[in-house]
């Protein structure tokens, strides 16, 4: 064996590759583009390229929001919108979860229910408004129902696809252990479908924010959507833009929350994370 | 059939979409034995094992277990891939089929199985943190924790490198000493079959049929260079490589 051993001489020194300091790109990178946009917007507004009646400066928008905040209106509007979203999201996500689990796990349920749901999915959101107003009145009920409809579909679709698409090989592990179909669903299919479910919840949340705006534009006396129509009717573009920005910020913050929670739930996934 | 048969296979046949892949196969498996089934890819050996494990329903024929000897819950199965639940750590994966047991009993069974396969220290790891060999040992522990009377192994080491495979074979012998289950091992690795088994069934197909049934009268600690070992290897290679049998 001795003639097989490697020579003991040290290999010629390999020149060390210069290591470049690595810049860690944190979550704050996401703020760069909005900051640049605001800066560009301020420049355009200051230069009076567009008249302030059409495009008020960022400072003017901030002032308008500060005035609303000082009078207590802003909190009331935010409160109204967030409460509607919370209720609508909870209702839509709950319904989507039950329906998605049922159709994902039981092929017969899928064949019975899914075609109808798919047909309803293509109904434009606005089309539901008159019906919900007739059924549930002009106040909160119809708005929450509309949001719930928006949230329902992505949750339903993703959970159904997630459960139905679980690897047969994992299901067989349950069969070997003599699991009942319900036990297979609970112990294998539902956990395996969690990543798809989280995607569905995030999609549902995004649609929920669109539908809450639609609902509040239809007729509301408070809420961010009301601020939009109110700003338009009273000729205050700063209020309109302020309400749009608040929608964007609220949407992003709630999405961050769901993303964080979802990340905790599916930390076991073997994926490349940034 | 003899009295010490744990399981008898009687004219078993399996077709997929009308195409016969297996049988008719008749054989018996002695209680406490380790039977290796070897054959080329696609000869129906995995299908045979899946029928034994209840994952496929035979088209014809039947599988009989010695009366009172076995129910489905006492069959352990190790697949070609680990098939671990990615959201559970090694300990919970090993106890996956034991949810019906009281916690203390379950923990003891899991700890014992993990110790036998040498994964005690890895109990808290997630599947994504395991090497291929560790993952397959975790899968073996999952099958063992239920103390199966019959352990079915479907090419469990085929995806591993030769050194890891040799290690796994040693683990399997440790399993045999500790749990003493009846084992059926599917493999296409002749050396593996000869090193581990008491008996080798050679399957050829499709449709897969038993073309040789070779009891191995070799000492437990096997020398892979011994003349007897090499002669058997030559015989089995011949049995495997003959022209396909005409239907």
Query: CA-based angle A106:A112:A114, to the nearest 5?
Result: 85
CB contact under 8 A, B86 and A187: no
**Chain B residues touching residue A177 (CB < 8 angstroms):** 73, 96-97, 146
User: Quick one: CA dihedral A7, A8, A12, A15, positive or negative?
Assistant: positive
Which pLDDT value is given to residue A161?
Answer: 94
Q: Assign A50 a pLDDT band (cuts: 50, 70, 90).
A: confident
Q: State the best of A176, A196, A263 to mutate against chain B, taking most chain B CBs within 10 Å.
A: A176
Residue A16 pLDDT exceeds 60: yes
A217-248: pLDDT as tens digits: 877 888 999 999 999 899 899 999 999 999 99
CATH no. of A65-265: 1.10.3720.10
The pLDDT value given to residue A28: 81
Q: Residue B72: its pLDDT value, please?
A: 66
pLDDT value for A187:
92
> The whole model's pTM is what?
0.80
Neighbouring CB atoms inside 10 A of A220's CB total 24
Averaged over B60-85, what is the pLDDT?
Answer: 81
Q: Residue B245 above 50 pLDDT?
A: no
Position of tokens 């901030």? Answer: A62
Give the model's confidence band at B58: pLDDT under 50 very low, under 70 low, under 90 confident, else very high. Answer: confident
Domain definitions of chain A by residue range: 65-265
Do the Cβ atoms of B81 and A169 come within 8 Å? yes
Query: Does B77 touch chain A if contact means CB atoms closer than 8 Å?
Result: yes
Contact in structure between A165 and A207 (CB atoms under 8 Å): no
Looking at per-residue pLDDT, the higher value among B128 and A50 belongs to B128
Q: Are B170 and B93 a contacting pair, CB within 8 Å?
A: no
Highest mean pLDDT: which range of A149-158, A264-273, B15-24, B220-229: A149-158
Task: Supply the pLDDT for residue B171.
Answer: 84
| Per-residue model confidence (pLDDT) at position B68 | 62
Give Cβ neighbours of residue A138 (< 8 Å, ≥ 6 apart): A219
pLDDT value for B6: 79
- The answer to whether B81 contacts A187, with C-beta atoms less than 8 Å apart, is no
Q: Among the listed ranges A212-216, A235-239, B23-27, which one has the minimum average pLDDT value?
A: B23-27
DSSP-assigned letters across all residues of A103-165? HHH-HHHHHHHHHHHHHHHTS-HHHHHHHHHHHH-SSHHHHHHHHHHHHHHHHHHHHHHHHHT
Q: Do B97 and A177 touch (CB under 8 A)?
A: yes
Alpha helices in chain B (DSSP H): 45-52, 90-94, 103-116, 132-145, 162-179, 190-196, 227-241
The model's confidence at residue B129, banded by pLDDT at 50, 70 and 90, is: very high
Tokens of A136: 């549930």
Cα–chain-centroid distance for residue A189?
23
Whether B246 has a pLDDT exceeding 50, the answer reads no
Would you call A170 and B85 a contact, using CB atoms and an 8 Å cutoff? yes
Comparing CB atoms, the residue among B72, B128, B146 nearest residue A270 is B128
Joined tokens for residue B86: 């990615």
User: Is the CB of A268 inside 8 Å of chain B's CB atoms?
Assistant: yes
Q: What is the mean pLDDT of chain A?
A: 87
Query: What's the rounded Cα separation, in Å, for the pair B137 and B140?
Result: 5
Cα nearest neighbour of B126 on chain A: A268
What are the tens digits of pLDDT across the range A183-208? 899 999 999 999 999 999 999 999 99
pLDDT digits (tens, 9 = 90+) for B148-207: 889 999 988 887 888 888 888 888 888 888 888 899 999 888 888 888 888 888 888 778
Percent share of chain B, pLDDT over 90: 26
B96 touches chain A (CB under 8 A): yes
Average pLDDT, chain B: 84
Q: How confident is the model at residue B1 (pLDDT cuts 50, 70, 90)?
A: very low
Q: Which CATH code fits B29-58+149-247?
A: 3.40.50.300
């Amino acid at each position: 064996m001795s003639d097989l051993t490697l020579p003991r001489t040290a290999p010629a020194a390999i020149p060390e590759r210069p290591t470049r300091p690595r810049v860690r790109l944190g979550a704050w990178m996401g703020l760069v583009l909005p900051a640049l946009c605001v800066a560009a917007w301020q420049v355009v507004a200051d230069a009076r390229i567009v008249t302030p009646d059409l495009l008020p400066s960022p400072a003017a928008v901030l002032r308008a929001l500060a005035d609303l905040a000082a009078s207590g209106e802003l909190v009331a509007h935010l409160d109204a919108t967030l409460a509607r979203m919370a209720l609508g999201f909870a209702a839509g996500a709950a319904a989507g979860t039950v329906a998605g689990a049922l159709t994902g796990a039981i092929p017969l349920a899928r064949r019975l229910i899914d075609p109808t749901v798919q047909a309803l999915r293509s109904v434009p959101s606005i089309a539901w408004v008159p019906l919900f107003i007739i059924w549930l009145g002009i106040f909160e009920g119809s708005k929450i129902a509309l949001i719930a409809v928006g949230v329902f579909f992505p949750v339903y679709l993703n959970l159904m696809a997630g459960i139905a698409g679980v690897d047969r090989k994992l299901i067989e592990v349950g069969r070997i252990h003599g699991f009942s179909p319900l036990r297979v669903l609970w112990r294998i299919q539902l956990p395996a479908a969690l990543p798809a479910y989280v995607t569905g919840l995030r999609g549902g949340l995004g649609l929920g924010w669109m539908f809450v705006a639609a609902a509040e534009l239809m007729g509301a006396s408070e809420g961010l959507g009301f601020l939009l129509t109110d700003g338009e009717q009273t000729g205050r573009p700063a209020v309109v833009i302020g309400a749009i920005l608040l929608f964007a910020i609220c949407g992003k913050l709630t999405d961050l929350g769901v993303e964080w929670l979802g990340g905790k739930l599916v930390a076991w996934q073997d994926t490349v994370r940034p | 059939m003899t009295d010490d048969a744990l399981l008898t296979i009687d004219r078993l046949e399996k077709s997929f979409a009308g195409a016969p892949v297996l049988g008719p196969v008749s054989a018996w498996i002695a209680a406490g034995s380790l039977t290796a089934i070897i054959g080329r890819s696609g000869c129906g050996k995995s299908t045979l094992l899946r029928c034994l494990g209840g994952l496929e329903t035979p088209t014809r024929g039947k599988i009989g277990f010695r009366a009172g000897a076995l129910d489905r819950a006492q069959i352990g199965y190790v697949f070609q891939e680990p098939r671990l639940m990615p959201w559970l750590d090694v300990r919970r994966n090993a106890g996956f089929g034991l949810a019906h047991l009281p916690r203390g009993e379950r923990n003891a069974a899991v700890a014992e199985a993990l110790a036998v396969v040498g994964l005690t220290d890895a109990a808290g790891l997630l599947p994504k943190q395991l090497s291929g060999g560790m993952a397959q040992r975790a899968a073996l522990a999952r099958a063992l924790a239920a103390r199966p009377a019959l352990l079915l192994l479907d090419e469990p080491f085929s995806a591993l490198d030769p050194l890891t495979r040799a290690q796994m074979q040693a683990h399997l012998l440790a399993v045999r000493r500790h749990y003493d289950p009846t084992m059926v091992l599917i493999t296409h690795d002749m050396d593996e079959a000869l090193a581990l088994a008491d008996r080798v069934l050679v399957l050829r197909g499709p449709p897969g049929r038993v073309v040789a049934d070779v009891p191995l009268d070799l000492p437990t600690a096997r020398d892979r260079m011994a003349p007897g070992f090499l002669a058997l290897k030559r015989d089995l290679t011949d049995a495997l490589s003959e022209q396909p049998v005409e239907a």
